[in-house]
Structure 1
Amino acid sequence: MAAIESFDNIYLDLSKEHGKCRFAETGLGWKPVGGGDTFTLDQGNIGGAQWSRAAKGYEIKILQRNSGIIQLDGFQQEDYERLSKIFKNWYSTNLENKEHSLRGWNWGKAEFGKAELTFNVQNRPAFEIPYSEISNTNLAGRNEIAVEFAVGEGGKAGQNGATPGKGKKASAGKDQMVEMRFYIPGTTTRKEAEGGDAGSDADEEEKNAVTLFYDTLIEKAEIGESAGDTIATFLDVLHLTPRGRFDIDMYDTSFRLRGKTYDYKIQYEAIKKFMVLPKPDEVHYLLCIGLDPPLRQGQTRYPFLVMQFKTDEEVTLDLNLPEEDLNEKYKGKLESHYEQPLHSVVAQIFRGLAGKKILSPAKNFQTHRAQSGIKCSIKASEGFLYCLEKAFMFVPKPATYIAYDQTQSITFSRVGGAVSALSTFDITVHMKGGGNSQFSNINREDLKGLEDFFQYKGLRVKNEIDEDANMLAAAMRAEDMASSDEEVVQNKADRGSADEDEESVDEDFQADSDSDVAEEYDSNHESDGSGSGESDVDNEVDDDEDEEMEDAEEEEEERPKKKKKTG
């Protein structure tokens, strides 16, 4: 047998590009055809191997002694005998022929292996999930568990036998599976799970099967506390987005949100923006974290985390970090001891661990009440709009970030176009790529400050409110110059439907009776309410009969003019 065996068109860990795979007595190596990093695996790190049918032909799955898995895909069926001798003679390992279940059943048994979770149907694996691809898990229901997969940014393999990073295999394809759910009914016992003697209390022995699955997966996939020691922990922090209270565990490369129902593990690399925003009530501070990829909760995505802290809440905290790391890795970024307001401590630790700059509201803008946040709403959701140095930020929900350089123009308009609504106005931000965002019900006193700030930032501003005011002033000037007949028409138009109803009543009375009825109708209108009023009117008519007759004659002269006018 030759010292080196070579195979072409082999794919490493579902890579997009094939390469050449070489086996030698000291180990194996793989190099992409187009050039790039070479992967090598030492012979002493090979703990087992399986041969099975795969997407691009046949696959060799190598189980590493350090719990990692290496997949080599693209072999032909006739290569099995040759590879079997290589693993047996050089690596002292049997190449096990593994057949998968093709029944298509969606019920079976889940088994936790050393490096992967296997779902078996009739004692044959239907599919396997490497622990390195699992980023998080949550109890989604009473007997349901959600398993979330990591989303990587490339398909580069690890070197020197290191397990590829989370999400590297999934990122090899255009389409990626991001979540899978298992329904696990029934209960189990610690004795059955651990294979040993359990406690004497039967109630403590019984445990929901889904809870045992959840706890085991967290341990195997190194999610949460098992991933390492926490550097800092903040308990019961109020989150406005997603809504709820979460404990925050901060690690070296990630942080974890632990709630009653959902747990989230987020890499610091996913943090793209970090903002500290004072709330206009002057009692709270908002910490807003922008994520890419966004946080997922079922079908809902959260591109921003919004936390709320009380301004006067103090905290004393000592970081769980050795002096060597503080002096070397985090020198100038973190301190060993903090005794400051809680929101300030959280912001500083996030800045030190994630390496992100803290954004704050622009210094050259304040509302008429000398505050940074403007109370407004997006559709039916009320919140606060902040003008940062380079962008708008609306919080808490829906958290909206709009960069100034992506803004084409900004329009100030009155609410609904109503001239009578003088106390508030709207802002419509038109984007360069199309679409717009509208912020409604902003206090009228903030109009001048916003307009000056936008012009200072070089943004195109259109003030339709001043145009409405100019049109209203022109209409009032035209009204002053109108004739008396036009004034009557204008007054009737301003009164709305009241005069229309009065005119229709007059016309009915004029068509069916003489002119005396109108006067009689007027007296009836005045007399509605009580009998004493009617007697007073009658006495007044008897005493001033002459004056009433003169008024009746004048009314007779005016009525024909009115008919001509209305006709």
Structure 2
Amino acid sequence: MAMESFDNIYLDLSKEHGKCRFADTGLGWKPAGGGDTFTLDVSNIGGAQWSRAAKGYELKILQRNSGIIQLDGFQQEDFERLSKIFKNWYSLTLENKEHSLRGWNWGKAEFGKAELTFNVQNRPAFEIPYSEISNTNLAGRNEIAVEFASGEGGKAGQNGATPGKGKKASAGKDQMVEMRFYIPGTISRKEAEGNEAGSDADEEEKNAVTLFYDTLIEKAEIGETAGDTIATFLDVLHLTPRGRFDIDMYDTSFRLRGKTYDYKIQYEAIKKFMVLPKPDELHFLLCIGLDPPLRQGQTRYPFLVMQFKQDEEVTLDLNLSEEELNGKYKDKLQSHYEQPLHQVVAYIFKGLANKKVTTPAKDFQTHRQQYGIKCSIKASEGFLYCLEKAFMFVPKPATYISYEQTQSITFSRVGGAVSALSTFDITVHMKNGAGASQFSNINREDLKALEDFFKLKGLRVKNEIDEDANMLAAAMRAEDMASSDDEVVAPKADRGSADEDEESVDEDFRAESDSDVAEEYDSNHESSGSGSGESDVDNDDQDEDEDEDMEDEEEAAPPKKKKRTG
């Protein structure tokens, strides 16, 4: 049997090269280090393209079942050999496709059978296989976000990716996770469907971005292709990310459908599931921890936080057959639910995702017999819950701190004198210098309960509130003593050169009492009222010659000083 072999060839962006062999019955690839061999029958080869790629030249094989096989690492001189192979053995023409190298970021998007192609001046700038697209969202009025599946370790379908997707992305150290397209304008429905003739209704216009979105969902098999919904919950309030979403629950994944964003999440990505009663005693919070986190543009959401009314009940029948309920979901799900809504959602998540439901620790309650502690992280207010194995702060920023990662906890009081009397702060220090988280403005009445609970869990606790109180009392006593000293001896104000000019006047003024001043003015009032210095001297001489009856008054009063004249 005739055969052609090529060495150092990479299959689908694989990390390891191998040997590729072509024969009249098909082709095969085997890794150089040993492993599984890939084969493709000639009946499944629908076309072939030759182009420049990362490791040399690439041979792209289009399968008849909408798949794409990429073989990279060929040399330029291999083109003639491969052309003859495809022409003689497979009756196909190897198309030499040149990519656009202009670097323009505008062009035309075309939906092919197996991939989305972005063309610049009728040349492909890049191609995106549908098998690598995990989700898409309308991110704006004319903007669409395309999210790529992220595999790990070469295994498809991990970390929330759709099974069978992310195989090529997992081959490299760096992965592209999202791409956005801006698509302006409108397009008629007749043009979109390619109909030449039609009525006026067929010519109804729709946004081009909406058409792109609908087409991509259909081509990339996103959405309803996940199978029949087992249960659906409409208009559920989410605190993180903020908004109202419809929840569609499938066999292996669930979907959040909002007005702007649409998310598809695998149950494998759920790492934690918590049901937390809100301190208002009217609502329940359902918190779902995700790894990898949910992405919304540049923002990551490691936790979903839903809010349900405590007294809202629902009647629901699951879309499952008796065989499935008695087989795969035996002792996990029921066919009929008639309970409060938050309990039904929790039971179905627990049954489908097979995750344990976590609730607050029974050993701790606030002074109002509640499980949630009202506090804040920086400027964000929320509720802190003490679970059996971790702290949980919700709703935003949702923060999870396990007790195993905690090195020590410090009680402190920060703020003014008024707030310091009624509230305190908790600082949780992490092990290995991983930082610290501070929860502020906690009611002082919860101090004793928290301290007892932390000691019960074997956590190191340092209480700085008593130390601060002693220091504050000492400072207040010192301040009271300082204020009493100020009343006895008032410090002299520093007025600069003004003190030097009036120094003699100050001495004369301090030598007299208030009564002396009043008598002097009385004496002036009895005189002619002249304000000159001479009249003052005459009055003093005249007073010395008065009758002896006035001597008693003179002796009672201190001698008057003469006013200094120029």
After TM superposition, is the score higher than 0.5? yes
Separation in 1, partners of 2:133, 2:371: 41
Separation in 2, partners of 1:137, 1:378: 33
Q: Note the C-alpha offset of 1:501.
A: 25
Q: CA RMSD in A?
A: 8.4
Separation in 2, partners of 1:502, 1:423: 54
The equivalences for 1:268-417 within 5 A come to: 268-416=267-415
**Superimposed CA distance per residue, residues 219-255 of structure 1 (whole angstroms, 9 cap, x where no aligned partner):** 1111112332222111100000111101111122221
Deviates more, 1:83-92 or 1:153-162: 153-162
**Superimposed CA distance per residue, residues 73-97 of structure 1 (whole angstroms, 9 cap, x where no aligned partner):** 1111222222233333444433222
**Superimposed CA distance per residue, residues 290-341 of structure 1 (whole angstroms, 9 cap, x where no aligned partner):** 1122111112111111110111111111222233333332222222222221
Q: Note the C-alpha offset of 1:66.
A: 2.3
Could you say if the C-alpha distance between residues 508 and 302 of structure 1 is closer, same or farther in structure 2, counting changes exceeding 3 Å?
A: farther
Q: Note the C-alpha offset of 1:372.
A: 0.9
Q: Note the C-alpha offset of 1:161.
A: 22
**Superposition TM-score, scaled by structure 1 size:** 0.82
Deviates more, 1:503-512 or 1:240-249: 503-512
Separation in 1, partners of 2:525, 2:403: 64
Separation in 1, partners of 2:211, 2:76: 40
Q: Note the C-alpha offset of 1:550.
A: 22
Could you say if the C-alpha distance between residues 293 and 157 of structure 1 is closer, same or farther in structure 2, counting changes exceeding 3 Å?
A: closer
Could you say if the C-alpha distance between residues 91 and 425 of structure 1 is closer, same or farther in structure 2, counting changes exceeding 3 Å?
A: same
**Superimposed CA distance per residue, residues 268-305 of structure 1 (whole angstroms, 9 cap, x where no aligned partner):** 22222111111111111111111122111112111111
Deviates more, 1:287-296 or 1:392-401: 287-296
Q: Note the C-alpha offset of 1:447.
A: 0.6
Could you say if the C-alpha distance between residues 424 and 192 of structure 1 is closer, same or farther in structure 2, counting changes exceeding 3 Å?
A: same
Q: Secondary structure at the match of 2:404?
A: helix
Q: Note the C-alpha offset of 1:42.
A: 3.1
Separation in 2, partners of 1:14, 1:277: 45
Separation in 1, partners of 2:345, 2:414: 39
Residues 154 and 168, structure 1, Cα contact 8 Å, conserved in 2: no
Q: Secondary structure at the match of 1:416?
A: coil
Structure 2 unmatched ranges of 5 or more: none
Deviates more, 1:485-494 or 1:426-435: 485-494
**Superimposed CA distance per residue, residues 518-561 of structure 1 (whole angstroms, 9 cap, x where no aligned partner):** 9999999999999999999999999999999999xx99999999
Deviates more, 1:160-169 or 1:513-522: 513-522
Residues 17 and 32, structure 2, Cα contact 8 Å, conserved in 1: yes
Could you say if the C-alpha distance between residues 410 and 89 of structure 1 is closer, same or farther in structure 2, counting changes exceeding 3 Å?
A: same
Could you say if the C-alpha distance between residues 49 and 448 of structure 1 is closer, same or farther in structure 2, counting changes exceeding 3 Å?
A: same
Q: Note the C-alpha offset of 1:364.
A: 1.0
Separation in 2, partners of 1:472, 1:548: 66
Could you say if the C-alpha distance between residues 345 and 158 of structure 1 is closer, same or farther in structure 2, counting changes exceeding 3 Å?
A: closer
Deviates more, 1:161-170 or 1:387-396: 161-170
**Superimposed CA distance per residue, residues 359-403 of structure 1 (whole angstroms, 9 cap, x where no aligned partner):** 111111111111111000001110000111111110000111111
**Superposition TM-score, scaled by structure 2 size:** 0.82
Q: How many pairs align? A: 563
Could you say if the C-alpha distance between residues 123 and 418 of structure 1 is closer, same or farther in structure 2, counting changes exceeding 3 Å?
A: same
Q: Secondary structure at the match of 2:542?
A: helix
**Superimposed CA distance per residue, residues 190-236 of structure 1 (whole angstroms, 9 cap, x where no aligned partner):** 11111126763458621111111111111111111233222211110
Could you say if the C-alpha distance between residues 255 and 414 of structure 1 is closer, same or farther in structure 2, counting changes exceeding 3 Å?
A: same
Q: Secondary structure at the match of 2:561?
A: helix
Deviates more, 1:205-214 or 1:159-168: 159-168
Could you say if the C-alpha distance between residues 430 and 518 of structure 1 is closer, same or farther in structure 2, counting changes exceeding 3 Å?
A: farther
Identity between Structure 1 and Structure 2 (%): 90
Could you say if the C-alpha distance between residues 302 and 512 of structure 1 is closer, same or farther in structure 2, counting changes exceeding 3 Å?
A: farther
Separation in 2, partners of 1:284, 1:566: 90
Q: Secondary structure at the match of 1:564?
A: coil
Separation in 1, partners of 2:369, 2:495: 41
Separation in 2, partners of 1:203, 1:166: 36
Residues 253 and 265, structure 2, Cα contact 8 Å, conserved in 1: yes
Could you say if the C-alpha distance between residues 393 and 157 of structure 1 is closer, same or farther in structure 2, counting changes exceeding 3 Å?
A: closer
Could you say if the C-alpha distance between residues 555 and 466 of structure 1 is closer, same or farther in structure 2, counting changes exceeding 3 Å?
A: farther
Could you say if the C-alpha distance between residues 297 and 526 of structure 1 is closer, same or farther in structure 2, counting changes exceeding 3 Å?
A: farther
Could you say if the C-alpha distance between residues 452 and 516 of structure 1 is closer, same or farther in structure 2, counting changes exceeding 3 Å?
A: farther
Could you say if the C-alpha distance between residues 482 and 305 of structure 1 is closer, same or farther in structure 2, counting changes exceeding 3 Å?
A: closer
Residues 509 and 518, structure 1, Cα contact 8 Å, conserved in 2: no
Residues 283 and 308, structure 2, Cα contact 8 Å, conserved in 1: yes
Separation in 1, partners of 2:529, 2:306: 62
Separation in 2, partners of 1:12, 1:335: 46
Separation in 1, partners of 2:447, 2:258: 41
Q: Note the C-alpha offset of 1:62.
A: 1.7
Residues 3 and 23, structure 2, Cα contact 8 Å, conserved in 1: yes
Could you say if the C-alpha distance between residues 496 and 18 of structure 1 is closer, same or farther in structure 2, counting changes exceeding 3 Å?
A: farther
